[in-house]
A and B are shown apart, each in its own frame.
Chain A
Amino acid sequence: MSEELLLRVSSASKSFGGVKAVNNVSFDLFKGEILGVIGPNGSGKTTLVNLITGFIRKDSGKVFFKNKDITKLPPHKIADLGIARTFQIMRPYHTLPAYKNLIVPLYSPRVKRASGGKLGDRDAVAIDLLEEIGFERDAYVPYKLASSLPLGYLKRLELARCLALRPEIILCDEVFSGLSMAEIASTIPIMERLQMDGITLIMVEHRLRELFRLTNRVIVMNFGEKIADGIPDKVMEDKKVKEAYLGTEVM
C-alpha cells in the first residue's frame, strides 16, 4: 500500500464552555485507506469531523491537506479542495426531487473546473450517479421528492451528494446508523467500490462489526481524547478502549 500522506490533523482542540469536546487529537490519513473513528456517545467524533471540514472553528491545532495548511479556510473552500462530508442528521433539499439534489454539487466551481466547464446535461449526470449509488432497483425513485424518500435512500443520497463533488476524501458521519441489516449489507459494497476508485474515507461509526469489515485502521476516542490508534483487533484488546466502552472494573 502506498503511504502517501493525504491529511494530517495535529493537536486539534475545541471546547464548548468547560467541556473539552476534542482535546489535542492528532492523526494522519493516508491515500486510499478507510479510517474508522469510533468511541462512545459524546466522545467528540462528530465535532472532529466538523473541525476538519471547517464547520466549527478550532481553538488550537492545525489541519494539513497534502501538506497545505487548511486550518483557517471556510467550509466551502475546504470542500472545494475535495474534502466532502456527509451529515449525521439527514437534511436533504427536501423541496427538490432526489436527482435535483445533486445539481447543487454538480453546479459547484470544483466540478466545473474538473469537467473543463462542460458537463453536458447535469440532470443525466445526476441520475447516473444515483444509479451508481444504489437507486437502480426502482427507476421512479430518483424523481420523487427528497422529502418523501425513506432513510436508506436518504443516506445514499447524502453519499451521492458527496460523490458528485468528485472528492478525494469523504468524511462519513454515521452512514450506517438507523439502517436495517439488509440496507447496511447493500451499502458496504458501495463503500468498498469507493475505496477501489481511489477515494479515501474517514468513517465515524457506532456499528463496529460492519465497520471492521471495511477498515484496517481505527481511531478510538473517549471524552474528546484519542485513546487508541491501530488495527481493529489490537485496538479492541486495549485496556483503555475496553474501559471506555464497558466502564472501569469496581474492585
Chain B
Amino acid sequence: MESKARRKERLDRGIKVRTEGIYAVSSLREITYLLLPRLVLILGLLIIPLVLPSMYWQRLICMMGIFALLALAFDFLAHYVGIVCLGGALFIGLGGYIAGILNSSYGLPPVLTIPIATLGGALISTLLLLPCLPVRGIYFAIVSLMYPLMISRIIEALGLFGSTDGLAGLATFPNIWVDQYIIIAMVLISLFALRRLASEDFGLVLRGIKDNDQAVKASGMSITWYKAQAVFIASVIGCFGGAYLTHLYGWVGLSLFGLDFSILPIAASVLGGIGTLVGPIMGAFILIPLSEMLRALGPLRIVFYCLILVGFIVFKPEGLMNYFQRKYHQFEHWIEV
C-alpha cells in the first residue's frame, strides 16, 4: 500500500513537470507573463501595415512577409530536422511558375492557383530533393542550391513559359490591404503551426533524426520518409510564398529562381536567432527594410549591410530572439527573488 502511494506521488510529480504550462494559468500575472510576448508578436504584425501606409512600404511589407516565410522554413529544417536547405529559390520559383502557368494558360483565378501551386510545387520540390535525403551532411544544401540554377537555365534554353521575358499580365489581388494581410496571416499561421508540430510526437521524431539518425533507424523508422515529410512541410511554406509573389506583381520571370531567395533567409535566421522560429521572422522584418534604407548610401550599401551582419555574428551569435528570450526569463526571475 505504502509503495503504491509513493508510486502515485512519483507519477504526480511527473505530471506536474510535464504540465507546467497549465499550472501557470493559476494567476493573472502568470497568464500575462505567458501571453504578453505572443500578443506583442501577433498584434505587432497585424498593425505594421496600418502604421506604414505609404505605397513604398506596403510593397516592402509584402516582400518582408515572403522572406519571413522562407526564413521560417529554413529554420524549421535546420533546427528541427538537421537539414541545411538552400532551396528557397527552388520553392519560390516552382510555386511562382506553377501559379503563373495555371493563370495564364488555363485562366484559373488566384483562389485556385495558389493552393494548387503550393501543394504541387511542394510535391515536386520534395521529389526532386528525395535522392539526397538518406544521407547526412552537406549534400542536401548543395543539391537544393543547384536545382533553381538548373531549372532557370532549362527555361531559358528551351524558351519555355515566355523564356527570359516571363509571363506578364497575370491576375493580381483586389487591393493593397489584401496583399498585405494575406502574407501576414500566412506568416502567423505557419509560425504557430510549426511550433505546435515541433512539440508533437511527430516533431520529436524529427528532432531525434537531427540528434542521432542511427538511433531512429534502430527504432524501426525510415528516416527518409520522415525527412521527406519535413521537406514537404517546409516547401509548402516556401511555394506559397512563390505563388503569392506571382499574383502580387501579376508577373513571373526567371528572377524567381534568384539566389536572394536562398541566401537572405539564412541571414535573417542568423540575425533573429536560429531555432526560435520567431527569430527568423523578426530577422526578415529587420533585414529587408534595412537593405532598402541603405540604398541611400549608394554603392556602399552592401558594405554596410555586410558590416551589420558580421557585427551580429561576432557580438550576438545567438541571435536577437534567443537573447530577448533569455532576458525576459531573467526579468521574471528577478521579480520573484
Residue ranges of A at the interface with B (Cβ–Cβ < 8 Å): 53, 55, 74-77, 79-80, 84-85, 87, 91-96, 99-101, 103-110, 122-124, 127, 131, 136, 139-140, 142-143, 161-162, 164-165
Contact = CB atoms under 8 A, between A and B. Distances in A.
A103 B216 CA distance: 11
Given A87-B214, A93-B212, A108 B11 contact: no
B211 A91 contact: yes
Interface of B: 10-11, 13-14, 17-18, 201-202, 204-205, 207-208, 210-212, 214-223
Given A123-B18, A127-B11, A108 B220 contact: yes
A100 B204 contact: yes
B219 A105 contact: yes
Given A92-B212, A95-B207, A55 B217 contact: yes
Given A95-B207, A96-B207, A96-B208, A139 B220 contact: no
B214 A104 contact: no
Contacts of A100: 204
B252 to A, nearest CB: 40
Contact of A109 (B10, B201, B221): B221
Contacts of A106: 201
Given A100-B204, A107-B204, A107-B205, A87 B215 contact: yes
A79 B14 contact: no
B17 A84 contact: no
Contacts of A108: 219-221
B207 to A, nearest CB: 6
Contacts, number: 102
Contact of B217 (A75, A127, A139): A75
The 8 closest A-B pairs by CB, nearest first: A79-B220, A105-B219, A80-B220, A93-B211, A104-B208, A75-B217, A108-B220, A91-B212
Contact of A93 (B10, B13, B207, B222): B207
B228 to A, nearest CB: 14
Contacts of B221: 76, 79, 104, 107-109
Contacts of A143: 14, 17-18
A162 B220 CA distance: 10
A99 B15 CA distance: 12
A104 B17 contact: no
Contacts of A123: 14, 18
A91 B215 contact: yes
A74 B212 CA distance: 17
Contact of A104 (B11, B18, B204): B204
A187 to B, nearest CB: 20
A123 to B, nearest CB: 6
B224 to A, nearest CB: 9
B10 A165 contact: no
B208 A55 contact: no
Contacts of B208: 93, 96, 101, 104
A89 to B, nearest CB: 10
Contacts of A87: 214-215, 218
A131 B6 CA distance: 13
A80 B219 CA distance: 7
Contacts of A162: 218
B218 A85 contact: yes
A110 B220 contact: yes
A161 B219 contact: yes
Contact of B211 (A96, A107, A110, A140): A96
A122 B201 CA distance: 9
B220 A127 contact: no
Contact of B13 (A91, A95, A109, A139): A139
Contacts of B218: 53, 55, 75-76, 79, 84-85, 87, 161-162
A155 to B, nearest CB: 14
Of B210, B215, B218, B222, most buried by chain A (CB within 10 Å of CB) is: B218
Contact of A96 (B13, B204, B217): B204
Nearest to A110: B220
Contacts of B14: 99, 123-124, 127, 139, 142-143
B201 A93 contact: no
Contacts of B222: 74, 76
B212 A79 contact: no
